Structure 1
Amino acid sequence: MATGTSDPRSLPVPAERPAGRTRVSAKGEQTRARLIAAARTLLAGDGSVPFTTRNVAAAGGVTHGMCHYHFQDRTDLILAVIESIRPEWISPLERAVDAPGGFAERAERVIGLLTQPEGADLSRLHSALHWFALNDERVRAGLAEEYRRWRACFVALFQVLADERGGGLDPRPLGEAAAAAVDGLAAIESLDPEVDGAAAVRALMHGLAATAGADG
């Protein structure tokens, strides 16, 4: 039997089902976002509420079953939190390094970002993520990947210096050293607020650059 398509009443209405799927998808994304936000709140909390999928679901205002619909287990939730905070600490650094300018200009942008005070919420969150990384290999791998991306920013910054200086300057050890020092300084500042982070980071960046120039 032939399929008639000339009658408008027999034509499919393509907008109906995609629109329905879009509404479902948007609702699902909203639920997922609420769960990630709830997971972040619990991770950055004082530890009085254990970090479990059930507690995250309750904090997010959804059923426990719905939580497991979006996330298989609490490790999946932690990995989602790790990804969700990237725009707060890695993406701005990437943009500062990638924006136009020479090494000195880009380094100043980076220094400006690194010397901004880290919020207590984000600081506690990083501490919690590091604790879970000690006990969960998937969390460790996920967090390690983020730190590789973090270190790559510093390597890219010193690549700009290498391009300016020439002479076969290797940006990797310089970038890795800067990243390690900055990370250690953040830990020190969290314990001693009197440490002048801005001066230390600026001395570090310019000192590495000067040494690189001398070696080159």
Structure 2
Amino acid sequence: MAASAKDTPDPSAPPARTGRPRASAKGEQTRARLIAAARTLLAGGLAERFTTRNVAALCGVSHGMCHYHFQDRTDLVLAVVTDIRPEWILPLEEAVRAPGSFAERAERAVELLSRPEGAELSHLHSALHWHALNDERVRESLEAEYRRWRRCFVDLFQVLADERAAGPAGGRAVDPLALGEAVAAAVDGLAAAESLGTELDSGAVLRTLVRTLAAGA
């Protein structure tokens, strides 16, 4: 039977909406709320309270709904690892990758690293390290994040290596990996000292270190 004009789809009409996108958006909102609740509990420093049941209760959803989005507690921790990436890794990557000379990029990175770390992020890093000691999946995930973070410093010194190579007579060879890892280790050490209340001018220390390494490379 031929279709009537009423039954024939109008090719210029926008596609009909279904209920699925709305349900998906609601699911994403619930997932985001669960991650936010997980962050709150982890930053609270009470590891024994970090359970899927307590996360669900803090979020205001059923325990079953929590397990619908996250299989277990480890999945929640891994989600937090990913969730905090824009707060410490991505800004450093942007500072290093933005156009400019080695000196300009180094100054951007030092300025960024000199800013005090927020209390929540500091507590989260401590909690994630604790979970990494007790959970292999968390350890692997967190180590991957730190590799990405350390890579920023290697990329920074790669810029110096490229500048030297393009200079007169090729310039002196630079080892970006060794120099980058050295600065990353120093930044870790400064962060540990500051977490204990040690008063340091981290910006001055890092700026001196980077400039000295670059001059001696």
Q: What TM-score do the two structures reach when normalised by structure 1?
A: 0.91
SS state at 2:7 partner: helix
Change (3 A) 1:98 1:48: closer
Give the counterpart of 2:208 among 195, 203, 207: 203
Change (3 A) 1:129 1:5: farther
Deviation per residue, 1:21-72 (Å, 9 max, x gap): 1101110000000000000000000318610000000111111000000000
Q: In the alignment, is residue 143 of structure 1 matched against residue 148 of structure 2?
A: no
Q: Percent identity?
A: 69
Return the alpha-carbon distance in structure 1 between the equivalents of residues 119 and 96 of structure 2. 26
CA drift of 1:184 comes to 1.2
Give the counterpart of 1:189 among 187, 194, 197: 194
**Residue segments in structure 2 that go unaligned for 5+ positions in a row:** 166-171
Paired position in structure 2 for 1:78: 77
Paired position in structure 1 for 2:6: 8
Structure 1 runs (4+) greater than 6 angstroms displaced: none
Number of residue equivalences: 208
One-letter identity of the residue aligned with 1:181:
A
| Bigger mean CA offset, 108-117 vs 168-177 | 168-177
CA drift of 1:129 comes to 0.2
Note the aligned Cα RMSD (angstroms): 1.7
One-letter identity of the residue aligned with 2:191:
A
One-letter identity of the residue aligned with 2:202:
G
SS state at 1:100 partner: coil
Paired position in structure 2 for 1:173: 178
CA drift of 1:14 comes to 4.3
CA drift of 1:5 comes to 4.5
CA drift of 1:195 comes to 1.5
One-letter identity of the residue aligned with 1:119:
G
Q: What TM-score do the two structures reach when normalised by structure 2?
A: 0.91
